[in-house]
Structure 1
Amino acid sequence: MTDTDAETLAERVRDGELRLYELEDHADAETAAAARRHLLAEETGVDLDVIGEYAFDAADAEPNIENMVGAAQIPMGVAGPLPIDGGAAEGEHYLPMATTEGALLASVNRGVSTIRTAGGATARVLKSGMTRAPVFKVEDVAAAGEVSAWVREHVGDLAEAAEATTSHGELQDVEPYVVGDNVFLRFSYDTKDAMGMNMATIATEAACEVVERETSADLVALSGNLCSDKKPAAINAIEGRGRTVAADVLIPHEQVEERLDTTTEAIVEANTRKNLVGSAKAGALGFNAHAANVVAAAFLALGQDAAQVVEGSNAITTVDAREDGLYASVTIASLEVGTVGGGTGLPTQAEALDVLGYAGGGDPAGSNADALAEVIATGALAGELSLLAALSSRHLSSAHAELGR
């Protein structure tokens, strides 16, 4: 690539010969990105040298971006070492987190230190299933009932069609929901180590062809929002989507005082009045302090779909005063994660997954994504403990002030 090549392409866009999205048809990915930067710099007067500095080959990002001009750099830190007794995650882990929120890593690491002193946390994936829910139209409710009955009796036929599109995904269930002359079919798939949204979509399209062929239903939309993807939804809080994962820890009372500068009773009260009563009054779906902070930072660092932090914030934090210590747990109903596909192949994110120890496909299949979910849930637990402690001891604002945030 030369500056002249990029400038020539930019000039052709300005002259109307080419459109921005067509540049890769006429040049390599690096030159196309440089041409867009050149065009933007001329039209906006902004120097894009920093945006144009990145550590990967632009061609490697083509599956992840269109109209690429460069990369956004976000500071990355690490929380850990975090000891976990998991169903898939075992031993100590460092959790990479990318964020622009000052004090977040410091807070999470305080929670991690407390968990480590208490002997570690326990974590388990409780349920796994990526969903896609198409909507069909039918003549009336009688027809809706007939279609629903047919679907329940022919899940095997739908599985055969869906699984023919993938070498990894397995159809677990199809649940019909009827609203008047609308029939929604919520398909659930085991997508192994992939987050699996694209896999589920392609497989469901094949299954929908069978439904249309064998019943009176007509497909209206491949996604009918009952899935529900990247939107707050009670169905995900109840039924789960992706991984439903929980983590917990028991911290001796004296360690609560030494490590968190507060008491078990104060944390219990803060959790009840803030996370439970306050969230209920607000009509929230998530009953937690800031689980989304850890989920979002981990998603950015580890190549996950950042928009799915919406579902990742769908968590409930519980705290209980027991005779031998403070019991705390976080249960995330719909954590949509994968260790293959999507952004996990980008160099930065691939390195971060290597740091965590769960890059690529697991053995058995699905175990790496399960482990990733367990580590993120435990990180969220650490964050919950630290923030609840800061609130109950009235140290939240002073901590931010001390760190200059």
Structure 2
Amino acid sequence: MTKEFFTATPVKQVFDRIVEFVPVGTEKVPTAETCGRILATDVVAQTHLPGFARSTMDGYAVRAAATFGASESSPAYLEITDTVQMGMAAQAPVGNGQAAGIATGGMLPEGADAVVMLEHAAKLDETALEVYKSVAPGANVVAADEDVAAGQKMLAAGSRIRPQEMGLMAALGMETIRVFKKPVIGIISTGDELVEIGQTPVPGQIRDVNTYSLAGTVGQAGGIARTYGIVADRFDALRSTCTRALSETDMLLISGGSSVGTRDLTLEVIESLPDSQILFHGIPIRPGKPTILAKIGQKALWGLPGQIASAMVVFDRIVARFVGHISGNALSYRQHDRITAELTRNLSSVQGRTDYVRARIVEDQGRFYAEPIPGPSGLIRTLVEADGLIEIDMNTEGLEKGETVFVTLLR
């Protein structure tokens, strides 16, 4: 274990810094365009839903007391006085000993408090009905406020809108809703060894993978990626691009240049920017230890490792929560979906750091197995093959084959 792991900022302290960054602004958007957006205001129902008592079955609206004691051997006899038309109120109330035909979703007539299912009754003629099973008050009926009551707080600001929340807002007649804007996240790739993906690399060069992978993760985290291409390892070039990007975005990611070395310009550039503050340089995790977080004015600037697996693991486990926070997402702290699986081989670790091991999930005869994927953090293949990450706690020396582990699914 190296001294750097002891001096690195623990992950909990990294997340403690999240409150130093403010969420982006808000905007009103049509309800039809809100899926995946973050609510900027509470949603309080102004009316009851469904707004009237409705039948949940095809059958007959009745007063329940008129059916008490009814059975196949001793049916109750009722008079059919009406048939409720869909989308319309009943023409007449239901009195004692009376019934009205009704379809699923129909409005319960005044006086009725239950619905006899169609299969529990039989028409003798156009006005006479036999009922073979008694019903209790409220049977096969949805009350006027059973779904939503007027004045009820249904959704909280800071929650993510899913299709079901869209449906709720539509049911409440909300044509537009105020949401947080999607934060614009700038991405800069640094390194003299990088070339554009349309170029053929010569020996010593590689294509710029990180710009594309990070842009995808930004989108999945709820942001809008704005890429600034490849910047050479030159102080003036990197500083100029950072200055421009910070003026156009809500957060900036610099991929590469965060490791300790003679060509590391990221810290020098960050420190030269107006109103800059290095919050930490180094997190005790693997991969991704040399990560930097700086605060430039009110914006976060991240120095991510250049190795693709390191950069994406750091984004997935650390940066994404910061993106969620400035997106207004009050629940961005929640874990991703994860499953339990049996580990297929031993995994070693070093106390004092948290290891994130890429793994594939294999199902065999109803059981899940986690197969660690070996390989250094510069291999994109290891991420393509991975379904998720196994976390080895910083106080654990390793995991043994056969242990049950949690696998946090990658986005």
| TM-score, reference length from structure 1 | 0.22
Q: Greater strand percent: which structure?
A: 2
Q: Report the structure number with the largest CA radius of gyration.
A: 2
- Structure of greater relative contact order (alpha carbons < 8 Å, 6+ residues apart): 1
